[in-house]
Structure 1
Amino acid sequence: MPIFYNIAIKVYYFLVLLFSFFNKKARLWIDGRKNWERKFSPNVTKKKIWLHFASLGEFEQGKPLLQAIRRDYPEKEIVITFFSPSGYEIRKNSSLGDYILYLPLDTARNAEKFIDLFKPELAIFNKYEYWYHFYKKLHQKQIPVYVTSAIFRPNQIFFKWYGGFNRNILSFVTHFFVQNTESAELLIRIGLNNYTNCGDTRFDSVLDLAKNKKDFPLIEAFKGNTKLIIAGSTWPADEALIAGYIKNLDKNWKMIFAPHEIGEDKIAGLEKLIGNQSVRYSLLVNGTKQLNSSIKCIIIDNIGMLSSLYSYGEIAYIGGGFGVGIHNTLEAAAWGLPVVFGSKYQKFQEAKDLIAVGGGFTITDQEDLDSVFDKLIEQAGFRMEAGEKAKSYVTHNTGATAVIMGRIF
């Protein structure tokens, strides 16, 4: 089976390489991995801890663990790797890492070179990154491998009759820190009992963000005496539905869009969809545009504001639920906002939980969105109660970081 895996890895690399000629993200993915081993000269006298994240969302999820390691073990160096440019390019200068780089392509040679170069005393992979050669080499060199905030579902290949190769990758893991009981039971089903059910470190992360929010005077001025709907990490399918609603939005309400992708074509498309009642945040900041009573919507055309923007809102819409899967609902919930999202949320435990406790609402079409927004806007008591339920859910599920730190160290 490894031979087919190796072929698949090489084919994947070749396809990304072809795509890189006309796609910036693919080009960053390729260029970031070129000559990676020549870019670093690690301090051989210091012990190192390696943490890997797929992308930016997983980094933010694991950030409390990074902070705890940095705080409790300042003498150790931290190696951070990313799979995706959306994580590396934004966090490549983070003070939480001593060495930050793309994860090299998962080949036996790269795994050997990486581990020999950095010599980590342990490795922590966040949520769902399972790379055969890296796991195998770590296991062979008796370097502990931990998976944090792990979550499993019955339809994953690990639990299929033909998933023996993938189950073998899991066998290299020293300990799993799972998010829920279902994940623990699935591991037991395939003979793995090396787990702790401690929840998701993302709860610790969003509470930390809430305690350290940034203030945005322009947003405060825009809000004034009105109320705000914050639409975060939206995609075109989300934006089309919301645009259909805000054409008749109550005069006491305004909108803020923080789209997932902020390329010029994406922002221009959103402006066209909303109409002349919108303005880009960057134009307000540089003075090109001024706030006036005709502006009912601000479009955030930068990265990094969203988690603090929720503090200004009354309702949150979380994008991705009509395509890739919903984005981070917990950031909004931590601020006591009821969260609304599309129908593709089943892979996200927190979304299912928020619906169950009454702090989250899912929609499938325009009629659903109109109905949910109408109820949340017109019934202030219902809206506030839903927001409190969302916030309570977050605060009652913190503590995973402390459990992980205690078990590993």
Structure 2
Amino acid sequence: MNLIYRFVLFLVTGILNLFSPFSAKLNHFLEGRKSVSEKLKKFRVSYSGPIAWFHVASLGEFEQARPVIGKLKMKRPELAIAVSFFSPSGFDHVVKKIQPNVDFITYLPLDRKSFAEQFVDLLRPELVFFVKYDLWFHHIQALKKRQIPVYLIAASLREDQSFFGILGAFFRQNLFAMDWIFTQNEKSIQLLRSIGFTHASIAGDTRFDRVAATASSPKSLPDINAWIAEKPVIVIGSAWEEDMDLLIPLINSRPNYRWIIAPHDLSDAVMDRWATRIQLESKKYSVWKLSDSNAVLFIDNIGMLSSLYQFARVAYVGGAFGKGLHNILEPLGFEVPVIFGKVKKASKFPEAGQSELEGCGFSVSNEKELFEQFKMLEDLDFYEKAVYSAQKWVKSNLGAADRIIEKI
């Protein structure tokens, strides 16, 4: 199976190079990886000390790593932190800003054996963390060959993952190479035990640490606060077309609210199309003035959304009707009840089902259900119970990063 895997990766590399001239995304994916070795050599010339390496798939996994990175830096301030990304979208978003506690950001090379060996030899990490699920065989084998400790954090395992399928025996090698696995839940522990892996413990979801930290010190947005005045606010985060099809009738029915909409797609065409269907006056944040009389504000930038939840009475988080539900824990960190579309694959988004059980998250399948749920949250007693549930659930899940660092 190892030979087959190596052959498949060889073919994939050739196919990607063949089609990259016809795809901007593919070209971007490959171009970013061309200078990895040179940048890594340059970094290692400037810093020869110990390194902790965190590998993440994309932005969501980076957010899960950040609390652990922060705690590790507190314990071991002499450690440099290197973070590798598989996804260009995650890399592009993070590399644009100064990242506290992160010293080096890079792409992960494709999982060819020679690429992996070279990457590990250049980086020379003291310890390594893979986050959630993005495990690459040759990189992990290169680490184990050099007896470098490797940990999997924020693991959330499902029966339909490659570790447990027809080819599970091969992919399970990635799990068994881990010195310890820190899971988000008991189900993951049970799945690991079912394949004979026992070096694991429940740490919880590090995203709770992250959202609690954000909620404790959000960005100051005095212009937004002044615009809101005393009116109730609904923040719509990461909205897709399918979400807005449900939400626009609700927005039109509630002119006494302030509506803040952060689209997933920031193109003007998308926001302009929604604006024509919304009967209330709307403005884009980039051209908005406090003197404007709009009730709807489109956030046409990246980076504000997590702090906007501080103003929300209720939040709606999009994506469930499309490629996947976005982060519902961000508003819950502000003790804000959250509505979202019914997820297609509940096992991929366990926080959605758990939030419903806790009484602070509410899924809807259509416009009628959205209206009904919103009306329930307009009832003060029901609303206050949902707020308390959010507060209780987030508080009970704090400390995952501490548990990971203490164990290590």
TM-score (norm 1): 0.92
Once the two structures are superposed, what CA deviation does each residue of 1:43-85 show, in whole Å capped at 9, x if it has no partner?
A: 4630111001111111112111111122221211111111112
Count of aligned residue pairs for this structure pair? 401
* Corresponding residue number in structure 2 for 1:113: 118
Once the two structures are superposed, what CA deviation does each residue of 1:92-131 show, in whole Å capped at 9, x if it has no partner?
A: 2423222111111111111101110010011101111111
Q: Is the 8 A contact 2:86 2:108 kept in 1?
A: yes
Match of 2:59 among 56, 59, 78: 56
* Corresponding residue number in structure 2 for 1:391: 391
Matched residues in 2 for 1:256 and 1:8: separation? 46
Question: How big is the alpha-carbon RMSD for the aligned residues of Structure 1 and Structure 2?
Answer: 2.0
SS in 2 for 1:100: strand
In the alignment, does 2:285 pair up with 1:281? yes
Q: Is the 8 A contact 1:240 1:273 kept in 2?
A: no
Letter in 2 for 1:400: A
Cα distance change of structure 1 residues 275 and 132 upon mapping to structure 2, 3 Å threshold: farther
CA drift of 1:325 comes to 1.9
Match of 2:130 among 125, 131, 154: 125
* Structure-to-structure mapping, 1:243-392, within 5 angstroms: 243-249=248-254, 251-274=255-278, 277-284=281-288, 289=289, 291-293=291-293, 295-344=294-343, 346=346, 347-377=348-378, 379-392=379-392
Matched residues in 1 for 2:15 and 2:366: separation? 35
Deviating more after overlay: 172-181 vs 270-279 = 270-279
CA drift of 1:214 comes to 0.6
Cα distance change of structure 1 residues 143 and 84 upon mapping to structure 2, 3 Å threshold: same
Sequence identity percentage: 37
Cα distance change of structure 1 residues 400 and 296 upon mapping to structure 2, 3 Å threshold: same
* Corresponding residue number in structure 2 for 1:37: 37
Q: Tell me which protein shows more helix as a share of its residues.
A: 2
Matched residues in 2 for 1:18 and 1:282: separation? 40
Cα distance change of structure 1 residues 35 and 253 upon mapping to structure 2, 3 Å threshold: same
CA drift of 1:275 comes to 5.6
Match of 2:83 among 80, 84, 87: 80
Cα distance change of structure 1 residues 56 and 291 upon mapping to structure 2, 3 Å threshold: farther
Q: Is the 8 A contact 1:339 1:360 kept in 2?
A: yes
Match of 2:236 among 231, 236, 247: 231
Matched residues in 1 for 2:158 and 2:392: separation? 26
The answer for unaligned runs of 5 or more in structure 1 is none
Deviating more after overlay: 266-275 vs 36-45 = 266-275
Matched residues in 1 for 2:20 and 2:179: separation? 36
* Corresponding residue number in structure 2 for 1:98: 103
Letter in 1 for 2:406: G
The answer for unaligned runs of 5 or more in structure 2 is none
TM-score (norm 2): 0.92
Q: Is the 8 A contact 1:55 1:88 kept in 2?
A: yes
Match of 1:46 among 45, 49, 52: 49
